Amino acid sequence: MMFNATKATRTALSALVLTLGAASAPMVASAQDAAAPAAAAPAKWFKTCTKQEEADVCVVQNQQLAQNGQLLTAVGLISVEGKVNRKILQVTVPTARLIPPGIMMQIDGAKGVKLDYAVCLPDRCTAEMLLTDTLIASLKKGNEVVLTSVNFRRAPNPIKIPLEGFTGAYDGEAMSQSQAEERQRLLQEAMQKKQEERNKAINDAQDAAKQGN
């Protein structure tokens, strides 16, 4: 069940939205209309920590990108410590989702758990639930988590996220600001290189077709 949006919850939402805004290209609803496109590469789990108002906020997250750089799904385990202490699990998907189904989360094929949507922005929708010690333990022991949203065409869009490296990220030290910036730079360069390669392949195919006529 969705809980009320307290100040701590809004702080957590802004924490994940900020990292997504910095790490991904704009989402397009059609990216998941029929079937989920292939991910660019298995994404690694990582942790960042920031100071927001009177709270310390740490986010352990994983972002699955399509080969064109669009964000398919992002999951964030957010810990807020300060005057109010709260742990929240948030999952972000492209917009144009059916709201009632929420996002279904399954760990290694176990019974699914539903996350209700908390907010939808023009380019993304975010669902959330309270993060319990039991869920954290299940993620640490698991091999993969599957997050399924339902698009406006009523087609389920399951995204599989490997849990390899999750425990190390969750229990380990957070990235420094310079490490986070370097990670972002390398990610953007990799996405740009892949886009250039795709454009070249398309142009070469078009040139070959013209020569064959």
Question: Given a cut of 60, is residue 38 above it in pLDDT?
Answer: no
- Where residue 50 sits, what CATH number does that domain have? 2.60.40.1880
What pLDDT does residue 16 have?
Answer: 53
The answer to the question of residue 189 being in a domain is no
C-alpha angle with apex 25: 126 to 120, nearest 5 degrees?
20
CA–CA dist 134, 118 (Å, integer): 22
The answer to the question of residue 141 being in a domain is yes
The answer to the question of residue 27 being in a domain is yes
Please compute the mean of the pLDDT values over residues 177-205 and round it to a whole number. 75
The answer to the question of residue 190 being in a domain is no
Work out how many domains the chain is built from and give that number.
1
Q: What is the pTM of this model?
A: 0.75
Question: Given a cut of 60, is residue 132 above it in pLDDT?
Answer: yes
The answer to the question of residue 196 being in a domain is no
What's the token pair of residue 167? 């425990």
Write out pLDDT tens, residues 189-201: 776 777 777 788 8
Who has greater pLDDT, 46 or 9?
A: 46
The answer to the question of residue 184 being in a domain is no
DSSP string, 38-78: PBSSPPPPEEEEEEETTEEEEEEEEEEEBTTSBEEEEEEEE
Domain extent for 61: 7-174
The answer to the question of residue 91 being in a domain is yes
